[in-house]
Structure 1
Amino acid sequence: MSSATVTRPEAPTGARTRPRLRLDLLPTLAALVIFVGMVIYGEVAYGRIVQMSTISNLLINNAHLIVLAVGLTFVILTGGIDLSVGAVIAFSSVSGVMLINAGWNPWLVMIVMILIGAAFGLASGVLIQYFNVQPFIATLAMMFLARGLASMLSTKPERLPDESAFRVLAEQWKIIDGPKVNDLVITPGVVVALLVVVVAFFILHRTRTGRTVYAIGGSEQSAQLMGLPVHRTKMWVYVISGLLAGVAAVIYTARLGIAQNITGIGWELDAIAATVIGGTLLTGGAGFVLGSVVGALVLGLMNVLITRDGTVPPEATTIITGGILLVFVLLQRAVLARRNQ
């Protein structure tokens, strides 16, 4: 009698866990399906989509967005938001180029740019954790601060010297020599972005910090009752987001060779969109780094298809992005409703 009483609740618990895991994966799988569908559509409609040169350009042109999306994944998983990353990129980028033009060592400048991003992330974390400022307001304040500082430094484009060692991150490495110009090419910036993805995946899925991030998003009060380091972890996620914004600034500046105070306007929204499209719930507690990568590639491929079409105005990109984002938010609502049942 007692053994039956013990074993009876275990079966439904496992039965509930399996569909719940599948539900958490549903938005990410939907993003993957959309990406594959876009590839098929592009190949049928325009041709020359499924080729090595397209893959190369997609990765090279969106490496900075992938890095930003990874940083936002940490923040959104805790139920927070970071609106400052685009402006942080502008300030970090302008500062870095001006320091190089002043004679600083390019490798030291890269470190300084990353530390600038981390400092803004730390400031946001302190405001949120120790002054009880809402993440939206705290990071909005950091956005205005970083954008204002970038404008104070320079209101005209600052250019990297052609011979600067900083540009090594944009040097193209030919991996596969294809016919004509159809080569598989990557840059050190792409390698850095992929390393960021691997490290972030390990942290979120193989460390106590990662488990705490998910626990905070699920229920911060429960995470505190479990004795998890909630305060320290919430600080760290904003530091990570800011630090990765600095990394994205390094990658983007090296590729473009130019820095402006208007760089990064709206990029925080692109990164949030990529994260949400990739399956990370805005309420926190569920999501995947690899899903955010897929979301970033969806946005990048959408730009490629619009360019190939030639008849769609560039401003329509934001409309299409908003439509895709709305679909995924509604999908998330359906997933949450199903989980609550």
Structure 2
Amino acid sequence: MSTQTPVSPQKTPKTGTVAQSHSFVAELLRRARGRYLSPLASLALFVVMFTAIVLRYDFASPTQVFLNLLVDNAHLIVLAVGMTFVILTGGIDLSVGSVVALSTVIVATALQDGWPAPLAVGAVLVVGPLLGLLMGLVIEYFDVQPFIVTLAGMFLARGLCYVISVDTLPIKDPLLRRFGLNYVYLYEDKFIRWTVVIALAVVVIVAYILHQTRFGRTVYAVGGNRQSAQLMGLNASRARVSVYAISGFCAALAGLLLAVQKLSGYSLNGIGMELDAIAAAVIGGVLLSGGVGFVFGSLIGVLVLGTIQTFVTAENLDSYWTRIMTGVLLLVFVLVQRLVVRKPG
């Protein structure tokens, strides 16, 4: 009579649990190696750079130095947020710097002509999205490359600035001056400005839209694979047009923030700012081919660029060093994306 050795019932569950744990860890590592690597690298770079600068120059209040980064770059944060939308679909928007300048000129001119501040601000917030909408329609329905269309939009917006005024136009409206000059005290003597409050609110709202709404998921899907998005029943055409209108709105809002920060409008504002917005998005981990990236990564990218500017100012270097260092960082992060980042499967 043969006997069989009973199999312990505890071995299979343990093996399964261990396998599941390994699978979970592998998935986390895969994601960290993919879409999260570039923003995490950007965050680590910012922390290292900011810490090194604080230790080197022994600032009296490192916290206020960080807050000043937000104050000085509030308009660029909003601009980078709009650029993130466009790049996520695989596009580009070269017109935003000129739209920033056009917004400052429009609001300053309207105020000088006696318009009420709310009406002048409203006019700016209509012109920007309208220009973006027109470019998006041309890109989508005439199948023209975004680079060409937005380049034309850049020339158009800059030319309109010169048509309206070539001089610096001061903003004397009491409401906008209070908005631009008043501090928002956080605790003790630490402060920001209202422009920062608006910029951070835009970041939070856009993060919610991108990650918690059907439109946001459509934007990611279109950037990842447009044909697959259409097969899933998503309206790729509407999403692609909408992101350019959103970028135009963000550019107009960024122009308003810059105008109240400088309390003036000038046709030469925003020259090269579209490149700063693209650089901030890419350094923050937004993949240029589309479908991968986070709006908070773009925020980190802006902080990295602001830290570079702080270093150049503290070292009393010529301003071109800011461009040199930004170019080197941009190239490094593009190489990181090329070699390591993979689109999620």
Corresponding residue to 2:234 among 228, 233, 240: 228
Corresponding residue to 1:77 among 82, 88, 110: 88
Query: Any idea what the Cα deviations from partners look like across 1:44-94, whole Å, max 9, x if unmatched?
Result: 211117623212321111000000010001100010000000000111110
What is the CA–CA distance in structure 1 between the aligned matches of 2:44 and 2:263, rounded to whole Å? 35
Q: Contact 1:24–1:335 at 8 Å: present in 2 too?
A: no
1:242 corresponds to which residue?
248
2:167 corresponds to which residue?
156
Deviation at 1:29, TM superposition (A): 0.4
Paired residue type of 2:248: G
Deviation at 1:340, TM superposition (A): 9.0
What is the CA–CA distance in structure 2 between the aligned matches of 1:16 and 1:76, rounded to whole Å? 29
How is 1:168-207 mapped onto 2 (pairs within 5 angstroms)? 168-170=178-180, 171-177=182-188, 183-207=189-213
How is 1:19-58 mapped onto 2 (pairs within 5 angstroms)? 19-22=29-32, 23-48=34-59, 51-58=62-69
Paired residue type of 2:198: V
Q: Contact 2:224–2:343 at 8 Å: present in 1 too?
A: no
Please say which structure displays the higher CA radius of gyration. 2
1:3 corresponds to which residue?
none
Query: Any idea what the Cα deviations from partners look like across 1:196-249, whole Å, max 9, x if unmatched?
Result: 001100000000111011101111111111110101111110010000001101
2:122 corresponds to which residue?
111
Query: Any idea what the Cα deviations from partners look like across 1:127-156, whole Å, max 9, x if unmatched?
Result: 111111111001000000000000111111
1:124 corresponds to which residue?
135
SS of structure 1 residue aligned to 2:210: helix
1:279 corresponds to which residue?
285
TM norm structure 2: 0.90
CA gap 1:217/1:242 in 2 versus in 1, 3 angstroms: same
Paired residue type of 2:334: V
CA gap 1:50/1:225 in 2 versus in 1, 3 angstroms: farther
RMSD (CA atoms) = 2.0
Consecutive unaligned residues in structure 2, runs of 5 or more = 1-15
SS of structure 1 residue aligned to 2:160: helix
1:262 corresponds to which residue?
268
Q: Contact 1:73–1:292 at 8 Å: present in 2 too?
A: yes
Deviation at 1:17, TM superposition (A): 4.8
Q: Contact 1:20–1:339 at 8 Å: present in 2 too?
A: no
What is the CA–CA distance in structure 2 between the aligned matches of 1:45 and 1:166, rounded to whole Å? 37
CA gap 1:227/1:112 in 2 versus in 1, 3 angstroms: same
Following TM superposition, the consecutive aligned residue runs of length 4 or more in structure 1 with deviations greater than 6 angstroms are 10-16
Residue 71 of structure 2 corresponds to residue 66 of structure 1: no
What is the CA–CA distance in structure 1 between the aligned matches of 2:54 and 2:260, rounded to whole Å? 31
What is the CA–CA distance in structure 1 between the aligned matches of 2:344 and 2:235, rounded to whole Å? 27
2:339 corresponds to which residue?
334
Q: Contact 1:84–1:142 at 8 Å: present in 2 too?
A: yes
Deviation at 1:15, TM superposition (A): 7.8
Query: Any idea what the Cα deviations from partners look like across 1:288-323, whole Å, max 9, x if unmatched?
Result: 00000000011011101111111x221111010000
1:180 corresponds to which residue?
none
2:313 corresponds to which residue?
307
What is the CA–CA distance in structure 2 between the aligned matches of 1:339 and 1:209, rounded to whole Å? 20
Q: Contact 1:86–1:245 at 8 Å: present in 2 too?
A: yes
1:141 corresponds to which residue?
152
Q: Contact 2:54–2:62 at 8 Å: present in 1 too?
A: no
Deviation at 1:32, TM superposition (A): 0.3
What is the CA–CA distance in structure 2 between the aligned matches of 1:226 and 1:148, rounded to whole Å? 42
1:218 corresponds to which residue?
224
SS of structure 1 residue aligned to 2:185: strand
CA gap 1:116/1:46 in 2 versus in 1, 3 angstroms: same
Residue 327 of structure 2 corresponds to residue 316 of structure 1: no
